[in-house]
Amino acid sequence: MKNCYAVDLFCGIGGLTKGLEQSGINVVAGVDFEASCKYAYESNNKAKFINADVTKTKPEEIQKLFPNEGIKVLAGCAPCQPFSRYTQRYRKDGYKDDKWRLLYYFGKIAKEIEPDIIAMENVPELRNAEIYKEFIKNLKESNYYIQYQVVYCPDYGVPQNRKRLVLLASKFSPISLLIPTHSKDNYKTVRQAIGSLPKIASGETDATDSMHTCTKLSPLNLKRIKASKPGGTWRDWPKDIQLKCHKKNSGKSYPSVYGRMNWDEPSPTITTQFYGYGNGRFGHPEQDRALSLREGALLQSFPPNYQFIDPDSPMNTRKLGVQIGNAVPVELGRIIGLSILQHIEENENEKI
């Protein structure tokens, strides 16, 4: 099989890159605006981190990252809710579809350099955006075969109820994602992902892993989590510890807030605020605390030894939460990579 090389745009801390590397694809570089992602990206991946604003990067600069020989893959997840500095910079320019603006630059680079294969992961809502339709139209005009679908991540071994839009496009022939590797009978569970970690209490940090740390709950929230059942709701609590908003009709439709996860099911979707007990069903199944940063990373299918914290920089829980929550689940990235390699192998004798 010919060598396959990828560049990961909007790479963040390397979820997609790690998955592609695990599949056997050579990722040569990741590009991201956030310099704070560099440590985690380069400490865990063979690829080079390029701290650059994709919206200001010329397509030829991306082209030069690829070797002259081999199959070229352009991959990435253009953030649907860009980091604040992106938002502040572009909010006033009048672009017709501001929320999805970074996809425009992904598409622009793809159109200019015409890689052999394109892989994109994003939120399902993107399907209905005009800019996505334009993105698809431009790919078709450039003679790509395109396949896209909304993926339920547990179907591919990710232990969380996450849905993502995955697009694959190829210059060679029709391309598709591998068939699901899991079913409801063998979905990876919370217990399988985090059940072996050492016990810690609210506000504590494990002595052997600084990422296995959780926020300290207030006395009232400690009462609330102690009254919570796995898979239950705040309705299980005594009325004297319920929130005022829960007692209003408008608050009765958010039962998962302040909830505990179930051991033997996939977790809820890991958001950028998963480390906060009150931000969703992010209570530990049996310990009286919120998820730790390491647990959130494991539920995003990062390897257990993935290094996130630069020893020369202070730890920032909020920033780490954003980086982990925004990442492409590593196992989904691996499936995308395997799909690409299978496609290349199938076409090698005929087209490539």
Strand-pairing partners, residue 119, are 75, 168
Query: 26-35, long-range: CB within 8 Å, 24+ apart, which pairs?
Result: 28/65, 28/66, 28/67, 29/65, 31/7, 31/57, 31/62, 33/83, 33/85, 33/86, 34/83, 34/323
d(CA 117, CA 53): 22
Residue 128: both structure tokens together:
């209905």
Strand-pairing partners, residue 121, are 166
Catalytic: which of 37, 80, 214, 245?
80
State the Cα torsion 33-34-39-45 to the nearest 10°.
-40
Classify the C-alpha dihedral 302-157-154-192 as positive or negative. Answer: negative
Answer yes or no: are the C-beta atoms of 296 and 324 closer than 8 Å: yes
d(CA 333, CA 74): 13
* Residue position matching structure tokens 């992961």: 121
For the chain, the helix, strand and coil percentages under 3-state DSSP, each to the nearest 5: 40, 15, 45
What is the three-class DSSP state of 55?
Answer: helix
Residue 139: both structure tokens together:
């790919």
Q: Edge-to-edge, what's the strand order for the sheet holding 117-122?
A: 48-51, 26-32, 4-9, 71-76, 117-122, 163-170, 145-152
80 is catalytic: yes
Catalytic residues: 80
